[in-house]
Structures are given as structure tokens and as C-alpha cells.
Amino acid sequence: MNHAAMEILFANMRLVEERRGDFRTMLGASEKASEHLDRLVTRFGVDELLHSCDELIARAERRMRDAVSRLPPGEYYAEGYVESTGQSADPLKVSLRLVIAQDGLLADFTGSSAQVAGVTNVGPALAPSAVFTIAKAFLDPKVPINHGSFAPIKVYAPEGSFINARYPAPCGGMAEVKFLIESVVAAAFCQAAPDRAVGDLKGGANHTHIAGYRRAGKEQFILYEWPAGGTGATATTDGSNAVRTYTEGDFNSIQSAEGIEASFPLRVERCEIREDSCGDGQHRGGFGLRREIRVLGDDATLSVLSEKNVIPPYGVDGGASSHPNRFRVLREAREVPISKIPGKVSGFPLKVDDLIRTETAGGGGWGLALDRPADWVVQDVREGYLSLETARDRYGVMIDSGVLAEAATEDLRARLRTERVIARVALLDAEGSSTRRLVVMDRDIADRLRAAEGDLCELSTGRGAPLRGWLRISEVTGGIVRIAGDAMAILRARSGDQMEVRRLASPGARS
Amino acid sequence: MTKALRDGYHIGVDVGGTFTDVLCIRPSGDVIASCKVPSIPGQQWRGVLQALAESGLHPTELRGVVHGTTIATNTILERKGARTALITTKGFRDAIEIGRTRRMVGGLFDFCFVRPQPLVARRFRFEIDERTATDGTVLNDGSGTDWRAIAEVCRSNDVESVAIGFINSYANVGNERTALDRLRETLPAAFLCTSTQVSQERGEFERFSSAILNAYVGPVVNRYLDGFVAALKEAAVDVDVEIMGSHGGSLTLDEARRNPVRTFLSGPVGGAVGASAIAKAAGIRSFLTFDMGGTSTDVGVFPDGNARMSFENQIDAFPLRVPQIDLHTIGAGGGSIAHRAADGTLEVGPASAGADPGPACYGRGGVDVTVSDANVVLGRLPSGTRLGGHLALQPSLATEALTCLGQSMGTDDIVRLADGAIRIAVAKMAGAVREVTVHRGHDPRAFDLIAFGGAGPMHAFFVAEELGIPRVIVPRWPGHLSALGQLSASRRYDYVRYVGKRLSSIDQEELRNAAEELLQSARNDLDAATSGAHGQETELSADARYVGQSFTLAVPMPGNALDLESLRAGHRELHTETFGYADDAGDLEIVSLRLVARTHVAPVKLAYMPAGADIRSSGMAWFGDDWHTTPVIQRDRLPPDTLIDGPALIEEDGATTVLPPGWRITVDPIGNLIGTPEIPFT
């Protein structure tokens, strides 16, 4: 080992003893692996070993091609946003054309935003890795991975886009961009395989750093967590609560309250399910979590890097979006502003007794909430996962003294069905060059949504993921919503089709 | 120890799904009877006593029973436990649901994954206003709690069992104890337990989860124990009852009632402890236990004869922090089904034909090809074999099932197909052995493989070849070692004391005092339980890690002498052995001290007296690439020092040993088959 080179690396790391430990662990594991590989070579010989590897690779490739061939061939489109450039609150867009052919697929990201001067760029590895993760989940989830699984998948991410940035663009948004690309690829697969549609996830990593000093300022500490959210619903299952998702390894995302209190001048006052945070649906998404940490020492700071604080995780097949991630600091029980861009907090100075409240997103819903069996909703209320108000307003379920009020529920559900805003879509000729998807809405539709210019809204055909966009109001009363041709393609819709229009609550409006 | 000193006789009783095994010894250790009776739910004790009477043993002379039971296991796996409530600190009722946000049981790439539901419904998780700080200071003693209101909700909802788990209770058990007292007053009929009674370790999720598992099985296990003690006392007035614990020792009846989750592995550890008794008698030092049954295989590792223990266990998605023998279980056994996978390849398991209908060759209507069927087609299970003593094999049905599978795979070579199925099953079992050895820092080549269970001796030699294990032992009674294990188990107590300090800043005297307190508790328990005639021992160890690591290593403290230098040295050695390196500059964190106390029992005498003349027949069996003429030998007639070269099949009641070419076995003085390769592995 080149000790001098290693020391240069370590000299550029924080909490270097932990990093040394990581490095030694990897070194030890590699040495063990090498020993066992040698043993395999001795036993079988190089040729037979390589031949076996080839066979495993060929087999994985066959499985993947076979699964692709069972999808309806065609082109499917999807898009999504990273919420900031790293310098401003302007979003960056990921555009996807997913081509499903007889025995392979192409994910083409042409049209995605150009690289930026902020740190929200990534190198060439993440788009392929994200596409692969989702393809694997949709097509062949059960068996181990090897190179053969990748063979039928081609990925094109344009050089110079923020998802395949070139020198000297700073690259730092690894989890943020990867999870967003996954969310976009999953949306395209939901169109291609609607029976397998799955609600969206919390996005980003929710990096949460509480840093400071302990032992009278002598020793630096960092509590670093990346709290999980709820998972998405499917045609057969509700989502699960506050848990690692299907796209990631099964590691802790939070530490134990007792471990934190023993190690840091902090007290954990709450770690609980974030009630009502699910994406509603016939199957609802899982619930996110709520965590409250009290600051007990001086000189601590809070940093957060989180996505989907503005644009919430989407529901599918008519299911609703869930609550976005949210990070707050309460000082004497009052919220203090911690950043200009929601979810992007850099070294906010904390005071003794401040309370840091972290709330993670729920998972997206599947199917219409009004179709959820009423007794399931009653059960969720009885267990305290849903409030009475949510049961009433979002599911149309009336509960009286803990018991389902059947007639009242039937009436309310009938009324809420008629109150859904259904509009006809028409082609918008020129959208302009904004990164933000434009949705032009006739005044009467906007009024029914109680939406204002610039609000975030979504269009749902009831199949696959919705289209998200920012509202512009046209001062006519024609019941029409206009979107550009590529947006039509995302929805697989044509001019004149009817679909549901929803306003997405602005951050802070939902608890 | 009391049971060994008193006259009369003692029995080990292992209740399996189909049969109950009973082994009966005199206090001297002499075996006086062994029998197998059908397991009839609610009736097994009558059957056991009747079988003893038939052997001329009067129930009134019965002095001691050690019992292995799967009741706790089945209760949890089948979700048949009591309706359970949790009382916890305000803000933490969902700690058991959220955990550390891990899925715990698979789910990668699977978006239909559903996290297992916690064992306590959310509406029965009560938060109370109480708090202890990390250093044990009580910030709020919980005296404002309305216990009557909580009790009322529990009563009106038929809650039978309550776990109490408070934040930081590992540092001060006071508030949990107070809550326990209040609940005893208000809910006298419920099963109650505190988290610190089950585990004293840091980590609320794991500790609360352990307490809930305990509470969940509590009422069920207690009812079961009440029933069987009543049945026993009817016939035998003066009998000590002990229950096999997951840690491989026996538990007093009181301890099993209080902490029934400690019996989670009560069934499977019996076999491992039985194997370890055999190993001791045969002078075998380090060994692996390989217990292969119909649906699963359990592997344990015994470096220098001591079971490797695990302290961070998991049942389904629920952590369990009690010491257990580190048994690794995989779902592959004689009944595992071979089938064609989606990509056209051959796959074995995880589905199993179970006991009913069982393998095709059982003739009970099974049509799937199982590992046993493959063995039949390869001639490795002689057609005269009787399973469980009375079931005759039907080889033609195995052939039929394999022919069918062959058609779906596009081959009519059912012999190669059968051979492939066995190779896959063997690879899976070798993987299980690697899991407990290589993955835990042990080299399997430094161990002997002790093979038992109905299917263990049939596959052990192939597993040994796969891993380069130089010696295979097929003990006597491979089909029923559990009862022997129960009679060999020492009574065992475990103590843990949380420390949570760095080696650089710790006070050696303080640590010694903590250890002394543990030793004193152990002495009290041992004195209360035993006369000490067969010896006792205590073993102190420290859970230590480099600062920043999230896992610990248990560093033994020889002679229970605690000094910081030897602790550091011991950790260094262990870390190097396990992970291949040590960090001499790194500070250590001493997480906790552990003490194990044991009282020993007289070893069971394993006398071997083969009867009658050697009986041999011969058949054809497939090994490697060809058929071999293979002798079929009756095991119970083999005198010590008999030498047998492979290939050979050695038959006995309940198991067949398959000895492939290239291996030879000798019979040792106590009747074990000791197998070694003709040309030693390099």
C-alpha cells in the first residue's frame, strides 16, 4: 500500500479515524475475497471458472430480454425535476424517452437540463445506474444481478447535461439526481406496464447533519442521518411506513434515540409515524416519519440536503400525491426561517433548546382514494394513522363514535366524486423555453381548483403517473386545459381527451 | 446439581412435529431407555409416561425432566400470540414500527414488499409522560400517569399481555420497575414484562422489540407449561422441570415462565448440544453441527468446543436481544422441491413438500420431485429403507416424478437431473456452513462436521468435499440427538451490564466493581439452584469495539480477571482473526460486560454394544459420473474399529449415511462413524 498517497487522501477528510476504519474494512474484505477467488481457481481452473461466469451472465441476459419482450413495444415519455440548481430555486428537468423494443430497451434523456454552476450535477454513472435499478425492479426483481442483466439496456444521457456533466461542472447531487431519475424512469414504466404501477418515493437522501462540539468544545461531532419516508402503493398493496425502499440497500437511515443521546449533546423527543402524510388512494402510500431533536449544547449547526420539499411524490393510476419532505426549526415553539430554498439548509446556527423537526414524505397512492373500502379507512383512523378530517375530506368516509356512518359516507363520496375537476385537454402550440412545464388552464377550471397563477398542478388520466406543471390562467371560460405536444405524449393522450386536474398544495400548507 | 444427585431417573423430552423423542438416564449418566412416541397435541405427556411405564419405569420415580419445545417459535411464526400492549415513553410509540427504517427481511427491487406488521397494534401502544436521561438521571418519574385508564382500555379490549419499554431504561431501570408495580396493581391477571428484564442493552428499538416478543409469547407459553406440569404432577409428584433455552443451557421453570422468549430455539439447539456431548466424549475439539431435516437445515459452529453465540438475533423482522446459540437456518432439507425456474434452469427450494404429502417416494400423493426423491433415483436411499420406522419407500414414484420434471426441462436423463438437484442442494448447504464460518471469521477447514437429522448423514460428505472439511462425524442416534442434548445441557444464566465508556478514560477499579457485581448475582443464583456437586463455572467477557464502529466483539476475560491491558490485547487478537487487521492506535469503547454462569450435569454415558452379526447387502448407486456397486450395511451391528471404504450406504433407524467413493469411515469406541478422505485434502 502507498502510505504517503493514503495520507494525502485522509488529510482531506473529516472525522478521519472513521474513514480509516472504513478503508481498512474494505481492505480486509478484499483480501478475504481474493483468498477465496484463488481457491476457486485452484479447484476449477481458470477456464472452467470463466466459462461458468459467462454462463451466469448469459442466463441473466436471457431473463432480462425475455421480460422486456413481454412489454408492449413502443415509446413512453416521462419527466421530473430536481428542485434547485444548487444556487437558486429554479428546478432542473430530467426528460426521458423510453423505447421498448422486442428484446431490449433504450432510455434516452435528450432534453434534460444543461449542466449548471451549482453542485447539482452528476457524472456519467448515475443515469445508467438509476435506469438499471428501475428496470430490474419492473422486469426481473428476484434473482441476483450480474453484467448480463445490463446487456439489454441502453442509456443515452447527453454530454453536458446536468445528469452527465463535463469538466469543470461541480458534481455533488448524487442521491438527489439518482433518485429523481429513478422516479422518472418508474413513471415511464408505469405507462408501459400499468398493471405494475407503483407510487413514487420521497426522492433525494434527506441528508440531515447536526454538527457541533462536545466535551467543552474540544471534540467535533456530526450526527448524520438520512431519514426514510413511506413507500409507494401498488395494485396489490398499500405502501409501508418509514422504511428503506425497493431502490436502495437495507441500511439504517436513523440512529437509535439512546445512541444519539449517549453520543451527542442532543435529546430525541419524538420519533413517530407522520400521520396523514400518505398519498391517498384505493391503496394508500406508506406514511413518512416525524422526528424531533432538542439541542442541548452551544455552537451546533443544521444542514439539510433534501428533495421533494416542493414537488411531492406522485400517485399512480389515479392515486394522490403524498406530503412532501419538510424540515423545520422551532425556537420557543415558533418556527424560525432556516433557508431560502425548502430542503436546502447550509450551516444554520442552532441555539440551546431549539427543536429540529424532520418530517419525511409519504409514498404515492394507487387508484382513487374514494374507491378505498370504507372499513379500511375506519381501521386507519382507529389505529391513529389517519385523522377524522382526512378520512372525511380525502376519503369521503364519515365516522361517528369510532363507527362507520354508512349512509353519510355514501352521500359524501357521491358528492366528492362530482367535485373532482375533470377537464378536456387541448394542444398548446408554443410553450416557450422555461424549464418548468407549462399548464394553461381556462379560468373556470382554475377557479374550481381554487388555483392561482404559478401554482403547481397535475393532470391524471387515471393510468400511470400524472403530468406535473405550473399553472398559467387563460381568461376564457371554456373548460379546457392546454399542454404542449410532448406533454400529451407523456400522458399518452390526445386533444379532446378528458382527465382529472388537481392543484398540488404549496409547501407549508399541509402539516 | 440437584437433578443429578437424586435417585430415580431423568428424561430429556423433545417434542417434534410428528414424534416425541424421549431419552431416559440414571443419575449416574447410564442410559436406561430411549423411545419415540407420536406427538399428539395436548396428549404427548400421557404418551411419554405410558412409554416409560412400558419400559418398566414407574412415573413416581421420575425426578427430572428437561424439555425442548417449539411452542414459542410456532406462536411467533404463526402469529398466534396474545393480544399485547406496549407502555412507552411519550414520543416513542412508533419506535417499534419505524425501527432504524430497515426492511429487515429482503425487499430489494421488490416494490410489492410489505413490511411485517408490528406485534402490537398502534392503538395498544400507550405513551406516558416519563423520562430518564442518558446518564440515568430521572427527569420525570411518570407519577402523573393515569394507570387505571390504561388498564381499563386493556381490559375492555382483552389485552392479555403488556410490555413496558422506556427510553434510556438500560441506564436506570427505576421508571420501568415503577410502571411494572403500578400495572401489577391495576392489571393483576395480565402477563407483564419490562424491556430491561429481557435485555439491558442500549438501543430502544431492539430492547422494546425483545420485550414485545417476550410478552407476545408469554401467555401462550405459560398456558402450555401449566398444562404439562399439571399432567406430570398427576403421575409423578416430585419432579424438577426445566426447559431447554435458546442459549443451549436449561432454564428453570420460573425463568421460562418469566422470559419465555428465551426458549425460541429450544427445539433446534437440543440437537446441537447433543452433538456437542458426543464430540466431547469422542475427543473432538472444534466442530460444526449440521442438522438437516425435512424442510430446513440448521448449522452451528463450536470453536474449541464452545458454541458460538449470537446476541443480536432477529425473528422475522423483529430484533431479539437475548443470547442464543448462533444457529444459521436455511430452507433446504430432504423435502425441498426441485423445479424448473423461469429461465429454464433447475432450482431446488425454497418450497418444501413438508411432512404431508412429503416426497413423491413416500406414496402419500406427493408429485413434486424432492431432494429425497433424487437420492432414491441415485440409489442412495436403498429401497428397503423405512422412514420413521414404518413408512416403506416407493422408488417407482420417485422415478415417475423425475421423469415428469425431465420432460419440462427437455431431458430424459433423470439420473443426471437427480444428480444436479443434489449438487444444487449441497451447494446451498455449503453456503449455510460458509455463512457461520467464513462470514464470521472462521475457516471451515479447521472444523469437523457433525452430521445428524434425518437427511444430514446423506449429504454431509458432499458438503465436506465442497468446503475442504477434513473429517465428518455421524454420531449415534443421528435422528434423535435432541433428547441427548437436553440431558447434557448445563443450567445456564446470562448477565449483562452496560458500560459505554472508552478504554482511554475508563477507571479500571470501576470496571472491576461492575464485574464483581455480576459475579455476585451469579453466585446467588447458582447457590439457590444447586448444591454445586458437579461443578459450576463463570465466564466473564467484555463487548468491545473501536470507537466509531457499530458492531462489537465479545472479548473473553480468562479467569474472570479484568484488566485493561489484556482486554486491549484480547480485542486486538479477535479483531485480527475476524477482520484481518487491527488498529493499534484506535481507542476502544467498552460497551458492556457479560457474564455466563453454568452448573454442570453428569455426562450421559455413551456406552456402545453392537448386537448380532454384520449384515450386508449390495446395490447400485450413482457417484460422480457413474454407477457403483455399493454395499448396504446395517449400522447397529458394526463393532468398534470397523473400517469401511466408500462407496457404501450405512443404514439405521431414522437415517442413512451415504459414504461416497474417496472417503472411508471407522467406527469409534462409542459407536460414532468417523469419516476421512482417503487422500487428505490439501
On whether the CB atoms of residues A110 and A97 are closer than 8 A, the answer is: yes
DSSP states along B63-75: EEEEEE--HHHHH
Do the domain assignments include residue A336? yes
Contact B97 A242 (CB under 8 A): yes
- Which of A232, A258, A273 is nearest residue B111 as measured by Cβ atoms? A232
* HSE-CB of B198 using CA atoms within 13 angstroms: 35
Domain C-terminal end among A14, A36, A69: A69
Q: How far is B34 from chain A (nearest CA, A)?
A: 45
Q: How far is A28 from chain B (nearest CA, A)?
A: 5
Do the domain assignments include residue A168? yes
E strand segments, A247-389: 266-273, 289-295, 301-305, 326-331, 334-336, 344-349, 355-359
Measuring CA to CA, how many Å separate A48 from each of A144, A147, B345?
21, 18, 19
Do A120 and A223 sit in the same domain of this protein?
Answer: yes
Burial status of residue A4 (CB atoms within 10 A of its CB: 0-12, 13-18, 19 or more): exposed
**Which chain A residues are Cβ-neighbours of B104 within 8 angstroms?**
250
Do the domain assignments include residue A187? yes
Q: B interface mutation test: which of A24, A258, A276, A358 has the most B CBs within 10 A?
A: A258
On whether the CB atoms of residues B669 and B642 are closer than 8 A, the answer is: no
Do the domain assignments include residue A357? no
Ramachandran angles phi, psi of B182, nearest 5°: -60, -40
With residue B21 as reference, give the H or E element that holds it: strand B19-25
Read off the amino acid at residue B472. Answer: V
Plot region of B535 (φ>0 → left; ψ -120 to 50 → alpha; else → beta): left
Do A180 and A79 sit in the same domain of this protein?
Answer: yes
Contact B100 A252 (CB under 8 A): yes
Inter-chain contacts counted by CB atoms under 8 A, chains A and B: 158
**How many other β-carbons are positioned within 10 Å of the β-carbon of residue A50?**
12
Do A172 and A204 sit in the same domain of this protein?
Answer: yes
On whether the CB atoms of residues B70 and B243 are closer than 8 A, the answer is: no
A215 to chain B, any CB pair closer than 8 A? The answer is no
Do A213 and A83 sit in the same domain of this protein?
Answer: yes
Dist. CA B546–CA B568, nearest whole Å: 10
**Secondary structure class of A453 (helix, strand, coil):** coil
Q: How far is B466 from chain A (nearest CA, A)?
A: 10
Give the pLDDT confidence score for residue A508 in this predicted structure: 44
**How many other β-carbons are positioned within 10 Å of the β-carbon of residue A104?**
16
With residue B631 as reference, give the H or E element that holds it: strand B626-634
Do A181 and A206 sit in the same domain of this protein?
Answer: yes
Domain total for chain A?
Answer: 4
- Alpha helices (H) along A45-91: 46-69
With residue B267 as reference, give the H or E element that holds it: helix B266-282
Q: Which residues contact A324 (CB under 8 A, 6 or more apart)?
A: A308, A309, A310, A311, A312, A313, A361, A507
Dist. CA A59–CA A64, nearest whole Å: 9
Torsion of CA B56, B57, B58, B64, to 10 degrees: -170
Do A64 and A16 sit in the same domain of this protein?
Answer: yes
On whether the CB atoms of residues A151 and A157 are closer than 8 A, the answer is: no
- Report chain A's C-alpha Rg in angstroms: 25
Paired with A356 in beta bridges are: A293, A329
DSSP states along A202-215: --S--EEEEEEEET
Place of cell 358528492: A415
Q: Which CATH number belongs to the domain containing residue A457 in this structure? A: 2.40.40.20
Do the domain assignments include residue A426? yes
Contact A261 B133 (CB under 8 A): yes
Q: How far is A321 from chain B (nearest CA, A)?
A: 17
* HSE-CB of B201 using CA atoms within 13 angstroms: 27
Give the pLDDT confidence score for residue B390 in this predicted structure: 57
Dist. CA A241–CA B79, nearest whole Å: 20
**Secondary structure class of B187 (helix, strand, coil):** coil
A24 to chain B, any CB pair closer than 8 A? The answer is yes
| C-alpha cell read off for B593 | 460486560
User: Residue A270's closest chain B neighbor by CA?
Assistant: B91
**Which chain A residues are Cβ-neighbours of B133 within 8 angstroms?**
261, 267
Do A309 and A447 sit in the same domain of this protein?
Answer: no
What is the largest distance, in Å, between two alpha-carbon atoms of chain A?
Answer: 79
A62 to chain B, any CB pair closer than 8 A? The answer is yes
Contact B101 A66 (CB under 8 A): no
On whether the CB atoms of residues B631 and B616 are closer than 8 A, the answer is: yes
Do A105 and A216 sit in the same domain of this protein?
Answer: yes
User: Residue B170's closest chain A neighbor by CA?
Assistant: A258
Do A97 and A226 sit in the same domain of this protein?
Answer: yes
Do A95 and A47 sit in the same domain of this protein?
Answer: no
Domain C-terminal end among A418, A450, A476: A418
Q: B interface mutation test: which of A34, A200, A256 has the most B CBs within 10 A?
A: A256
Sign of torsion, CA B463 B465 B468 B472? positive
Do the domain assignments include residue A181? yes
On whether the CB atoms of residues A486 and A112 are closer than 8 A, the answer is: no
What is the largest distance, in Å, between two alpha-carbon atoms of chain B?
Answer: 81
Torsion of CA B640, B646, B651, B655, to 10 degrees: 100
Q: B interface mutation test: which of A131, A215, A225, A243 has the most B CBs within 10 A?
A: A243
Paired with B666 in beta bridges are: B643, B674
**Secondary structure class of A234 (helix, strand, coil):** strand
Q: A interface mutation test: which of B93, B109, B166, B312 has the most A CBs within 10 A?
A: B109
**Secondary structure class of B462 (helix, strand, coil):** helix
Dist. CA B72–CA B217, nearest whole Å: 6
Q: Which residues contact A133 (CB under 8 A, 6 or more apart)?
A: A182, A247, B109
Q: Which of residues 127-186 of B touch A (CB under 8 A)?
A: 133-134, 167-168, 170
Contact B203 A256 (CB under 8 A): yes
Sign of torsion, CA A217 A220 A223 A226? positive
User: Residue B129's closest chain A neighbor by CA?
Assistant: A269
Q: Which domain holds residue A10?
A: 3-69
**Cis? peptide before B357, omega within 30° of 0:** yes
Do A194 and A337 sit in the same domain of this protein?
Answer: yes
Instruction: Specify the length of chain A in residues.
Output: 511
B583 to chain A, any CB pair closer than 8 A? The answer is yes
Contact A262 B134 (CB under 8 A): yes
On whether the CB atoms of residues A224 and A206 are closer than 8 A, the answer is: no
- Which of A63, A252, A261 is nearest residue B101 as measured by Cβ atoms? A252
Do A131 and A190 sit in the same domain of this protein?
Answer: yes
DSSP states along B151-178: HHHHHHTT--EEEEE-TTTTT--HHHHH
User: Between B564-579 and A16-44, two packed helices, what is the crossing angle to 10 degrees?
Assistant: 40
Per residue in B225-278, pLDDT tens?
Answer: 998 888 888 877 678 899 999 999 999 899 999 999 999 999 899 999 999 999
Contact A255 B100 (CB under 8 A): yes
Domain C-terminal end among A46, A69, A92: A69
Dist. CA A130–CA A179, nearest whole Å: 7
Per-residue pLDDT of chain A (511 residues; tens, 9 = 90+): 788 999 999 999 877 877 888 898 899 889 989 988 998 999 899 999 999 999 999 999 999 999 999 999 999 999 999 999 988 889 999 999 999 998 899 999 999 999 999 989 999 999 999 999 999 999 999 888 898 999 999 999 999 999 999 999 999 889 999 999 999 999 999 999 988 999 999 999 999 999 998 767 678 899 999 999 999 999 999 999 999 999 999 999 999 999 999 889 999 999 999 999 999 999 999 999 999 999 999 889 999 999 999 999 999 999 999 999 999 999 999 999 999 999 999 999 999 999 999 999 999 999 999 999 999 999 999 999 999 999 999 999 999 999 999 999 999 999 999 999 999 999 998 877 889 999 999 999 999 999 999 999 999 999 999 999 999 999 999 999 999 999 999 999 999 999 999 999 764 443 3
Q: Which domains does chain B have, with CATH numbers?
A: 2-74+223-263 (3.30.420.260), 81-215 (3.40.50), 490-599 (3.30.1490), 616-677 (no CATH)
On whether the CB atoms of residues B663 and B678 are closer than 8 A, the answer is: yes
Place of cell 422486469: A139
**Which chain A residues are Cβ-neighbours of B108 within 8 angstroms?**
246, 248-250
Q: How far is B218 from chain A (nearest CA, A)?
A: 24
Dist. CA B329–CA B435, nearest whole Å: 10
On whether the CB atoms of residues B214 and B260 are closer than 8 A, the answer is: yes
Give the pLDDT confidence score for residue B532 in this predicted structure: 46
Do the domain assignments include residue A21? yes
Q: How far is B98 from chain A (nearest CA, A)?
A: 6
Q: Which of residues 264-283 of A touch B (CB under 8 A)?
A: 267-273
B546 to chain A, any CB pair closer than 8 A? The answer is yes
Q: A interface mutation test: which of B94, B209, B545 has the most A CBs within 10 A?
A: B94
Q: How far is A166 from chain B (nearest CA, A)?
A: 31
Paired with A426 in beta bridges are: A482
Contact A384 B500 (CB under 8 A): no
**Which chain A residues are Cβ-neighbours of B115 within 8 angstroms?**
240-241, 243, 286
On whether the CB atoms of residues A58 and A65 are closer than 8 A, the answer is: no
Do the domain assignments include residue A138? yes
Read off the amino acid at residue B529. Answer: A
Q: B interface mutation test: which of A31, A264, A271 has the most B CBs within 10 A?
A: A271
Contact B111 A234 (CB under 8 A): yes
On whether the CB atoms of residues B204 and B171 are closer than 8 A, the answer is: no
- Which of A27, A32, A246 is nearest residue B113 as measured by Cβ atoms? A246
Dist. CA B89–CA B91, nearest whole Å: 6
Instruction: Using 70 as the pLDDT threshold, list the residues of chain B that sit under it.
Output: 1-6, 17-18, 42, 237, 383-391, 529-534, 548, 550
